[in-house]
Every structure is written in C-alpha cells, then in structure tokens.
Amino acid sequence: MADREDVESIPNAKVGQIIDLLEQLRILGGTCDRGGLAYALGVTEPSVYASTRAAHLLGLIDVDEQQVILTEIGTVFLDSNEADRRRAFGQQLLRNEPFATIARAVEQGPLTGEQLMNYVRARIPSAREWKDTTIREMLRTIGGWCIYGGLLVYNRESKEYLRPA
C-alpha cells in the first residue's frame, strides 16, 4: 500500500466488522480463504468482501490470490489496547486519500457532512456517481472510520465534524 494514494473506492465496512475479521483471522492461524473466513464469521462469502477490502486498504491484511493473510501491522493492532488500536487505525487512514485530505480540511474548521463528502468526491472520482442513499451510507462509514481513528469528532448539536481536542 503506497502512502497517500487515491483509492478507487472505499469499502462499506464498519469498524467492528473489520476488527471481527482480524480476530477471526488470528484464530484461524493468520491465514484463510474468504470462504473459510465467512464460515468463521457466520456470514455469507460476499459479506466478507467489503471487510477484507477495508482491512487490506488499511494494511492490516494482505490478500494473495484466494488467501487472506494477517500482516504484522494487523497483529500489532490486535495485540494493542483500545487507545493504541484507535491511534494505529488513524495512522493507517492518513496513508490514504481521502482521509489525509479530510484531516487537513478539519484543521481549517468544522465540516458538515456535505462538505466532508465533497472532499471524498474530490479525491475519489467513482464517488461522484454515488446515489443519495449511497452518499448517506458512506458518510456513516467514512465518518465512523475517522471518529474511531481519532481524526474527527462529531458534534450532534451542530451536526458537524470537528478536529479532536
């Protein structure tokens, strides 16, 4: 994974799904095919696709042909306490666009959901074609990743994303 590289798309996987995948992969000895991961997670194989893409984007796993392999970064992540996991997640996000852009933008002031998604669309051309329902779902996903990783906090009152204190 190259630093600050534009991604073609962001997988719609929640943080909890990514962590569950990593934990099951470790139980399975650090490597397994997607079908086996699906059985371990109790989901269908297509359901594993988004979480494996997300974990791969973050450098937590490698995908070699059909095998999914826990990386050293993934192992360190799993062995960390919650605060260190969040910090590591945020550091991995910053290696990719649009997350680096979002982090720079919030340094200038609060972002509405619409502004945040405009930065996503600026950095990911395929996002420019998203339907409104996809935009809302991806805002929840991207916002969730950024909040978990400590890049943003969400103010429910003002409905804005803010720079963490």
What's the average model confidence in pLDDT over 86-106? 97
20, pLDDT greater than 80: yes
Query: Considering its fold, how many domains does the chain have in total?
Result: 2
Asked if 41 and 107 sit in the same domain, the reply is no
4, pLDDT greater than 80: no
Asked if 74 and 86 sit in the same domain, the reply is no
What's the average model confidence in pLDDT over 48-68? 95
- CA distance linking residue 1 with residue 129, whole number of Å: 25
Asked if 61 and 92 sit in the same domain, the reply is no
What's the average model confidence in pLDDT over 122-132? 95
Asked if 154 and 111 sit in the same domain, the reply is yes
Q: Which of 44, 62, 78 is the last residue of a domain?
A: 78
Q: What is the CATH number of the domain that holds 36?
A: 1.10.10.10
2, pLDDT greater than 70: no
Encode burial over 104-139: b for 16+ CB neighbours within 10 A, e otherwise: ebbeeebbebebbbebbbebbeebeebeeeeeeebb
Asked if 69 and 96 sit in the same domain, the reply is no
What's the average model confidence in pLDDT over 126-132? 94
Expressed as residue numbers, the domain containing 111 is: 81-162
Confidence at residue 53, expressed as pLDDT on a 0 to 100 scale: 95
DSSP-derived pairing of the beta strands 160-162 and 153-155? antiparallel
Contacts 24+ apart (CB under 8 A), 24-27: 25/61, 25/68, 25/70, 25/74, 26/70, 26/75, 26/78
Q: How confident is the model at residue 55 (pLDDT cuts 50, 70, 90)?
A: very high
Number of residues that this document lists for the chain: 165
Whether omega for the bond prior to residue 98 falls within 30 degrees of 0, making it cis, is: yes
Confidence at residue 3, expressed as pLDDT on a 0 to 100 scale: 42
Give 3 or 62, the one with higher predicted confidence: 62
